[in-house]
Copies of this chain bind each other. A is one copy, B any other.
Amino acid sequence: MSKGPNAARRNESSRQAILAATEDLCRENGYGRLTIEAIAARAGVGKTTIYRWWPSKGAVVLELLDQAATLASAPPDTGDLAADLRTLLTEVIGILTPVHTSPATGLIAEALQDPDLAHDLREHLIEPRIAAFKQRLRRAQDAGQLSADADLDVALDLLYGPLYHRMALHLGMPDPGHLDSLVAHVLRALTPPHPAGVRERRRKSQTGVS
């Protein structure tokens, strides 16, 4: 991201002004009404300067989110797996809310139509977070809180899926109670019954499924 012509000579204060203006305008009018012209005007910057370093408004917003994100990137680990998952999910809910004005939502919408942007989005924002999420789950597996053969991709789908489902279909984000319930259900699906005899049989049926 932003590795244009000659990054050495780049004017950092312009870069900051552009990102700040982008954030302001996005919050004010929503991503959809965001305009390169308006960003340039608000930031007191020539349009050229934006086009020199970013290929589209989506890329600007992506860098904005990227910068904000790196501030809080380490995955939480309190020892309480369910609580940590709720923390991770709550963070994402915050990012996706309110649906119609959140920069992240707008970015996702644009990326749905723009493969290049989609690629950058996945590379810069999403994959690192998925990695952190899986890392936390793997630690849980090591601690025996999750069955050793649990499918982490399934876990990813089941835990984050509901948020994007609700975002996409405008169903409203889950309230804390719902979230609790979702996490509990998913953990149950990933941790077979404990009593010795039962656990054995369960493991067998899983083998048949997967």
Residues of A within 8 A of B (CB): 30-32, 99-100, 105-106, 108-115, 118-119, 121-122, 126, 151, 153-154, 156-158, 160-171, 174, 177-178, 180-182, 184-186, 188-190, 192-193, 198-199, 203, 205-210
Contact = CB atoms under 8 A, between A and B. Distances in A.
Contacts of A113: 30-32, 100, 106, 109
Interface of chain A, main secondary structure? helix
7 contacts: A32-B114, A100-B113, A100-B114, A109-B112, A154-B182, A158-B182, A164-B165
Contact of A188 (B121, B164, B169, B188): B188
Contacts of A190: 185
Contacts of A192: 188
Contacts of A31: 113
A162 B114 CA distance: 21
Q: Which of A32, A109, A207 has the most CB of B within 10 A?
A: A109
B169 A157 contact: no
Nearest to A33: B113
Contact of A151 (B99, B112, B181): B181
Contacts of A119: 170
Nearest to A157: B162
A118 B121 CA distance: 24
